[in-house]
């Protein structure tokens, strides 16, 4: 943001910053210090009538709490280290005695609205908690103390909830400033241990927005670069483009002050103003006379350029900077108010109307369930992800393929699929256990089935694990979809999610039982019509003679420990030489090759069966079973529908918040229209 102090013209010239087609007014004359006579004049008497409408507009928006809607307003924020003379500066500008004692006005931000009041007399009142409290000048400190306790609570804690002090007086500048608690690092008078952090957070909250104008109060008695208020303002305004410094207590440290304010080692982009505040029981008129005399007669202070000394110069600078800031920010404020209003109206229109009858509730429920049903068809059946383009966890068909591939990998890589381990050991034992009175070299079917049952039993946990994982995933997707579609109806959302969970759990149980049946069927009978089985077995059996020769070889030293079989890899055979019965080894080899060929077919068939089974069940879920949710929600007495007539507190609160926000923004927009009409009307008179 550029410097706010860009023009020496009055407020009309400032207004023309954003309405270039209007003619500029002649520049306002700078005040001249001519001794006591000038000191007795009002602090500022020019162009208050021009900027007052603009300032009233901003004050109106601030009173409407429009900043809570995320709309920033141009604000003069007064910051300073403790004992920097901040209260004295504000007193000089306001022309009234403000509380100075610690703990009275330092616990909350104090918005000071100064209004030039042509009529005789002083009018003071406080605004807080939606009420207006008239105040007499001698009771200002007491009134602020009472208001602070009401807003922030008794004690010494800090609060960011502001109070507003309105000062209407003849001759004061039209200004609105926010006086923040003085920066202190050491807790005193019962203040909390983290008082510095609390104050820092409040100050940063007010000075961070780029619309804020920072009035940094510095004592002439300290090194500016060591001031905590300078450090804070530099964090948010590195180049000082929206920071103005006012130097107090100049009479205590006049030596070298001219060098400090001209060197500007701390980047004060809007410049410095040196002031001498009221001392003791001096009247404001006497204080201004003494200020003028001091800057004229003091050997050190008289060297400072008169354009940057005096309370009257400070007032004029603040008025000009404030007017420029308002004029610059006004178009953006108008734009932001309209945008926020449109967004809130749109959001309110999207919210469901409060249901008032069973018929309305039934229609709403059916509409929600049908919408959820369509979403589930897309995600879990058709593979359409337009409703969740970025959330791939909801892309059901793709996730199912991942789960199925993982299941297939686990099945192919499990221990039971390692067919070379302890080669023929299980087959030999199976044949020995199945011996009976039978034809020689007859391969008993029971031996094959016993081995098959054991192998299938050992991998039976894998398809069950896949089914459980799949249905847990389905449950998560169904819950997410129902939540999204029923978000506005809390009781329906809770009931629908409960009913859907019950449905998914029932389908999960049915699915797992069906998977167990598939496994049991595989254990009962070894059967396939897949021609790959016979082809694979014949290919493997061609290696039988070579295998038997390697076992029975005696003319080779050392004896071979392994043999390489196509389709099985390297097989350890040393443990088989202890068997003297060649026929049982041959039968065992035949049995093994049958199992190898059959196991290959079995794995593919199990993966296919699981894919078809789960797809079948999810099809039924999204096309038919989901309707059971409606039956459970309806219930025998329609209790579920009746619950929909009761809105959740969150929805009620959201609707009321939107309505209140829209009301505030509409009032703000009306205020914008009035101020713009006033500006155009005033400019038209100049043509």
* DSSP assigned state of 380: I
Q: How far apart are CA 519 and CA 453, in angstroms?
A: 10
Give me the count of residues in the chain: 687
Q: How far apart are CA 626 and CA 407, in angstroms?
A: 27
* Strand 110-116, strand 163-169: pairing: parallel
Cβ contacts of 541 within 8 Å, gap of 6 or more: 590, 593
- Residue among 541, 585, 627, 540 nearest 428 (CA): 585
Residue 175, token pair as written in the block: 């200004």
Dmax (CA) of the chain: 139
So what's the pLDDT on residue 170?
A: 85
Model confidence, pTM:
0.58
Q: How far apart are CA 312 and CA 44, in angstroms?
A: 6
Q: How far apart are CA 543 and CA 300, in angstroms?
A: 113
Residue 4, token pair as written in the block: 């706010």
615 CB-contact burial (10 Å; exposed 0-12 / middle 13-18 / buried 19+)? middle
Residues 21-27: contacts with CB under 8 Å, at least 24 apart: 22/683, 22/686, 23/686, 23/687, 25/686
The answer to whether the CB of 114 falls within 8 A of the CB of 95 is no
So what's the pLDDT on residue 685?
A: 42
* DSSP assigned state of 675: H
3-state helix, strand, coil in the chain (%, to 5): 60, 10, 35
- Residue among 588, 549, 583 nearest 560 (CA): 549
- Hey, how many other C-beta atoms are within 10 angstroms of the C-beta on 239? 12
CATH topology of domain 358-538+596-645: 1.20.120
Q: How far apart are CA 264 and CA 260, in angstroms?
A: 6
The answer to whether the CB of 3 falls within 8 A of the CB of 21 is no
The model's pLDDT over 47-87, given as tens digits with 9 standing for 90+, comes to 455 667 777 778 778 777 787 788 888 889 999 988 888 88
CATH topology of domain 74-336: Rossmann fold (3.40.50)
* Strand 212-219, strand 243-248: pairing: parallel
So what's the pLDDT on residue 42?
A: 53
- Residue among 470, 477, 475, 471 nearest 392 (CA): 477
The model's pLDDT over 559-604, given as tens digits with 9 standing for 90+, comes to 788 888 888 888 888 788 777 678 888 888 988 899 999 999 999 9
Q: Where are the beta strands (DSSP E) in 270-429?
A: 272-274
So what's the pLDDT on residue 298?
A: 93
Sign of torsion over alpha carbons 83, 87, 90, 95: negative
The answer to whether the CB of 215 falls within 8 A of the CB of 244 is yes
- Hey, how many other C-beta atoms are within 10 angstroms of the C-beta on 378? 21
Regions of the chain with pLDDT less than 50: 1-2, 5-41, 45-47, 102-105, 680-687
Residue 73, token pair as written in the block: 């307003």
So what's the pLDDT on residue 440?
A: 61
Q: How far apart are CA 137 and CA 170, in angstroms?
A: 15
Domain ranges of the chain: 74-336, 358-538+596-645, 649-686
- Residue among 642, 629, 616, 630 nearest 502 (CA): 629
Residue 134, token pair as written in the block: 């008239």
* DSSP assigned state of 191: -
Q: Where are the beta strands (DSSP E) in 180-238?
A: 212-219
676 CB-contact burial (10 Å; exposed 0-12 / middle 13-18 / buried 19+)? middle
Cis peptide before 558 (omega within 30 of 0): yes
End-to-end CA distance of the chain: 31
Alpha helices in 577-648 (DSSP H): 582-623, 628-634, 639-644
């Amino acid at each position: 943001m550029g410097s706010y102090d860009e023009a020496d013209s009055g407020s009309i010239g400032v207004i023309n910053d954003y309405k270039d087609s209007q003619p500029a007014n002649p520049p306002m004359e700078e005040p001249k210090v001519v001794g006591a006579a000038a000191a007795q004049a009002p602090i500022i008497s020019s162009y208050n009538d021009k900027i007052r409408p603009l300032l009233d507009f901003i004050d109106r928006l601030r009173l409407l709490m429009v900043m809570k809607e995320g709309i920033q307003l141009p604000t003069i924020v007064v910051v300073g280290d403790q004992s920097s003379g901040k209260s004295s500066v504000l007193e000089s500008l306001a022309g009234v005695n403000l509380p100075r004692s610690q703990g009275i006005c330092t616990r909350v931000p104090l918005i000071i609205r100064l209004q030039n009041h042509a009529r005789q007399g002083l009018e003071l009142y406080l605004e807080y908690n939606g009420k207006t409290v008239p105040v007499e000048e001698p009771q200002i400190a007491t009134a602020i103390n009472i208001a602070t306790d009401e807003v922030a609570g008794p004690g010494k804690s800090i609060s960011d909830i502001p109070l507003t002090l309105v000062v209407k007086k003849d001759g004061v500048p039209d200004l609105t400033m926010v006086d923040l608690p003085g920066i202190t690092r050491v807790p005193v008078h019962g203040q909390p241990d983290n008082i510095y952090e609390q104050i820092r957070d409040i100050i940063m909250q007010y000075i961070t927005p780029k619309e804020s104008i920072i009035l940094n109060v510095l004592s002439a008695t300290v090194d500016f670069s060591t001031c905590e208020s300078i450090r804070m303002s530099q964090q948010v305004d590195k180049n000082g483009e929206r920071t103005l410094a006012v130097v107090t207590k100049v009479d205590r440290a006049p030596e070298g002050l001219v060098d400090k304010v001209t060197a500007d080692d701390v980047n004060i982009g809007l410049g410095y103003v040196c002031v001498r505040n009221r001392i003791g029981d001096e009247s404001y008129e006497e204080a201004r006379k003494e200020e003028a005399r001091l800057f004229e007669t003091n050997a050190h202070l008289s060297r400072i350029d008169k354009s940057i000394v005096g309370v009257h110069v400070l007032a004029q600078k603040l008025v000009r900077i404030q007017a420029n800031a308002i004029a610059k920010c006004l178009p953006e404020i108008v734009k932001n108010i309209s945008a926020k209003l449109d967004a809130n109206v749109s959001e309110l229109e999207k919210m469901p109307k409060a249901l008032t009858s069973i018929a309305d509730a039934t229609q709403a429920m059916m509409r929600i369930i049908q919408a959820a049903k369509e979403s589930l068809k897309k995600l879990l059946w058709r593979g359409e992800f337009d409703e969740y383009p970025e959330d791939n966890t909801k892309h059901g068909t793709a996730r199912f393929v991942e789960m199925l591939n993982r299941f297939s990998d686990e099945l192919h890589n499990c221990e039971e699929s390692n067919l070379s381990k302890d080669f023929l050991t299980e087959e030999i034992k199976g044949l020995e256990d199945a011996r009976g009175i039978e034809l020689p070299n007859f391969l008993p079917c029971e031996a094959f089935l016993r081995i098959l049952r054991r192998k299938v039993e050992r991998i039976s946990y894998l398809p069950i694990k896949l089914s459980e994982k799949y249905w847990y995933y389905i449950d998560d997707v169904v819950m997410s979809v129902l939540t999204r579609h029923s978000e506005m109806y809390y009781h329906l959302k809770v009931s629908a999610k409960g009913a859907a969970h019950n449905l998914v759990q029932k389908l999960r149980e049915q699915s797992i039982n069906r998977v167990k049946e598939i496994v049991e069927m595989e254990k009962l009978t070894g059967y396939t019509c897949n021609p790959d089985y016979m082809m694979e077995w014949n290919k493997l059996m061609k290696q039988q003679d070579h295998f038997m020769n390697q076992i029975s070889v005696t003319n080779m030293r050392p004896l071979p420990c392994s043999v390489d079989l196509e389709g099985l890899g390297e097989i350890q055979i040393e443990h088989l030489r202890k068997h003297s019965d060649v026929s049982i080894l041959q039968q065992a080899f035949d049995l093994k090759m049958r199992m190898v060929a059959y196991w290959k077919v079995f794995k593919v068939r199990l993966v296919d069966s699981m894919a078809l089974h789960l797809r079948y069940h999810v099809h039924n879920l999204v096309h038919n079973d989901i309707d059971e949710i409606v039956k459970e929600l309806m219930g025998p007495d329609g209790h579920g529908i009746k619950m929909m007539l009761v809105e959740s507190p969150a929805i009620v609160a959201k609707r009321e918040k939107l309505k209140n926000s829209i009301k505030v923004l509409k009032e703000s927009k009306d205020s914008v229209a009035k101020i713009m009409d006033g500006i155009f009307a005033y400019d038209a008179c100049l043509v």
